[in-house]
Amino acid sequence: MTGAASSARASSLWRLAAPPIVWAAHFGACYATAVAACGRWSDSGHAGAVPLLVAIWSAVALGALAVCLATGSRGGAVLEPARALDDDTPASRAAFVATTNALLVMVSGLAVMFVAAAAWMVPQCR
């Protein structure tokens, strides 16, 4: 692989979009689970399965965020305060994408935990 192709792959913007997409999918899955449990499943007694299903969705989302962090940090050094990230070089761009990806993974992981905590703490179907 050439240096330009390697640099383009390392600074791909999909690495920045993936963590919020994982959180949004987790939020949608948890919301859909709660809606289904309080609507369709409310008569069958399956509404108590919501916390377990949210825990499963959360484990999958946190695993996907770990993969995002591992693949996003390949392009450059993550969170290195001694280096300037404002140079217009391929290495600096890769380091910027890697650092931004790490920060997005942390924020998305926190959001996943907040959604899961709400599903565990708030009474179901009221």
Q: What is the pLDDT of residues 62-104, one digit of tens each?
A: 999 999 998 887 766 666 666 665 667 777 777 778 888 889 9
In the chain, the number of structural domains is 1
Residue 126 covered by a domain:
no
In a domain, 39, yes or no: yes
Domain around 77:
3-121
Q: Which of helix, strand or coil describes residue 88?
A: coil
Q: Is residue 97 part of a domain?
A: yes
* Model pLDDT, residue 108: 97
pTM of the model: 0.78
Cα 94 from Cα 113, distance rounded (Å): 28
Long-range residue pairs from 51-58, CB within 8 A, at least 24 positions apart, any chain? 51/119, 51/120, 51/124, 54/30, 54/115, 54/116, 54/119, 54/120, 55/116, 55/120, 57/26, 57/29, 57/30, 57/33, 57/116, 58/26, 58/30, 58/112, 58/113, 58/115, 58/116
CA 90 → CA 69, 70, 74, 76, 103, distances in Å?
Answer: 20, 20, 13, 10, 20
